[in-house]
Structure 1
Amino acid sequence: YQPSPRPFPEKLPEMTYPSHIESLPADSSGIINRRGLRIYVGYVLKHQTIGLEQVGDGVWDVIFGPIILGRVDVRDATDGYVTLKVSSPM
């Protein structure tokens, strides 16, 4: 075994998105809050910056880096909470 000579960062750089994508921080439970709408993106993404890209009237793609995690429709919210709709890549 040979250790890599490349340094490993103590902290990964913060995720950035183009200006047309809204950036929101996930809380310690993996939930992002957008104007009273709570979207669960997953505990594994807690404290990460998540992107929301509007793709229709009240319809948003939820993005982490280059990956579209799923889609939400604000009309599907129950008590201000909505879950991701994940489409199959096939």
Structure 2
Amino acid sequence: MTHPPTGSQSASTRDYLARLPGIDYPGYFDVRRVAHSGLIYIGNRVMCVSHLLVGQDIGLEQIDEARWEAYFSFYRLDRIELPKHKGGYCRVRV
């Protein structure tokens, strides 16, 4: 097994960002920050997004009364149908 010599490796000069730079969403998007639990709230309804996006802003585009599309930057995550009853729960497939 061959190992690279440690003398030829050096630390990266690039900065590591703990948080991604802010994302600008169109004005008609509803922007929500993902909570530490991986959830976002729309009215009285709960959506599970993902713990991978905790602290990040996602954009929500309303399609009609009960349907939304969730975006992270330019990437469409999922189309969501909100539950009819208040306190309902749905999941965004990431």
TM-score of the two chains, using structure 2 as the length reference: 0.73
Kindly indicate whether the alpha-carbon contact (under 8 Å) linking 2:44 and 2:86 is maintained by their aligned counterparts in 1: no
Kindly indicate whether the alpha-carbon contact (under 8 Å) linking 2:44 and 2:87 is maintained by their aligned counterparts in 1: no
- Structure 1 unaligned segments of length 5 or more: list them: none
1:60 aligns with 2:77: no
Kindly indicate whether the alpha-carbon contact (under 8 Å) linking 1:49 and 1:64 is maintained by their aligned counterparts in 2: yes
What is the rounded CA distance, in whole Å, between the counterparts of 1:68 and 1:38 in structure 2? 19
Kindly indicate whether the alpha-carbon contact (under 8 Å) linking 1:22 and 1:51 is maintained by their aligned counterparts in 2: yes
SS in 2 for 1:7: coil
Q: Which runs of 4+ in 1 moved over 3 A?
A: 1-11, 75-79
Higher radius of gyration, 1 or 2: 2
* Equivalent residues in 2 for 1:7-86, closer than 5 Å: 7-75=15-83, 79-84=87-92
SS in 2 for 1:44: helix
- Structure 2 unaligned segments of length 5 or more: list them: 1-8
CA-CA distance at 1:6 after TM superposition: 3.9
CA-CA distance at 1:15 after TM superposition: 2.4
Kindly indicate whether the alpha-carbon contact (under 8 Å) linking 2:45 and 2:83 is maintained by their aligned counterparts in 1: no
Aligned length: 86
TM-score of the two chains, using structure 1 as the length reference: 0.76
Aligned CA distance change for structure 1 residues 2 and 64 (closer, same or farther; 3 Å): same
Give the aligned CA root-mean-square deviation in angstroms.
Answer: 2.3
SS in 1 for 2:63: strand
Letter of the 1:16 partner, please give it. Answer: D
